[in-house]
Amino acid sequence: MEILLQNYPAFMLIFCRITSFFVVAPVYSAKGVPNIFKIGVSFFISMLVYLSTGLNQKVPEDMTYVLLIFSEVLIGLLLGFIAYLMFTVVQTAGSFIDIQIGFGMANVMDPMTGVSVPLLGNLKYMIAMLLFLSMNGHHYLLDAIFYSYEWIPLSNEFYSRLFAGSISELLIRTFSEAFILAFQMSAPIIVSMFLADVGLGFLAKTAPQFNIFVIGVPLKILLGLGMLLILVPSFTYIFSNLFEILFKSMQNLLGVIGSRPT
């Protein structure tokens, strides 16, 4: 019982970080994944982390322990949020495309998140998720949270880094990078839609007898779907680059909060 009481606080800190990570991390945070499964996986991973790195961790037994709980929860949420933010790039790019093509009003319910998402954004999101699973990306996420304790031990300087503004700066930089990536992914179709609008504008001036609204809507849909069909083979390269940026961003976050292990 004495050994249990000595080791239980450190284990609970580890369990808090890993559980909060699974709350927001892609794949694991999906509504289709049962909560009992998330808790069970969090418990066993916490046990593995504790047996490998937590035995020598010293945890205070005063009110400072409450602050450590909050810091561990925030660290897990930040790691999962960075990963989830990179997946929202795909849906944001799809939203840009849908607005230009004319699918902006035709949203569908995403079973992964339970919210309305654009049509093409949901299609690209499903393709990205399949590619992510095929390259064992969910295993890399487990590696990230597992080895985060080598970068950020339980006795970390999270609050000092938070008040210094380095974490906020990283989040803002990552968010801006995600928005730029979303625009780059949708740029070919957006440019083609813009050129189609310019052509329809010239047609409206040179041949006013044509009803541009009747011609333009199906023309832009056909052109957009045709461009999307042409770009599908490049999705593997695009999403591979996106996943590389995802794990690099998580590594940057670990480096900002903690330090690279020697």
Radius of gyration of the chain (CA): 23
- pLDDT tens digits, 78-110: 988 888 888 888 888 888 888 777 776 666 566
- pLDDT tens digits, 23-59: 888 888 877 778 888 888 888 888 888 888 766 667 7
Per the DSSP assignment, residues forming a β-bridge with 117 are 108
Where are the alpha helices (H) located in 102-211, listed in sequence order? 119-134, 137-151, 158-164, 166-206
Inform me whether the pLDDT recorded for 112 exceeds 70. no
Overall size of the chain counted in residues = 262
Amino acid 255 reads G
Residue 11: its pLDDT value, please?
83
Residue 225: its pLDDT value, please?
83
Give per-residue burial for 209-224: e unless 16+ CB within 10 Å, then b: eeebeeebeeebeebb
Surface-to-core class of residue 225, CB atoms within 10 Å of its CB (0-12 exposed, 13-18 middle, 19+ buried):
middle
Residue 216: its pLDDT value, please?
77
Phi, psi of 14 (to 5 degrees): -65, -40
Q: Residue 67: CB partners within 8 Å, gap ≥ 6?
A: 159
Give per-residue burial for 138-166: e unless 16+ CB within 10 Å, then b: eeebbebbeebbebbbbebebeebbeeee
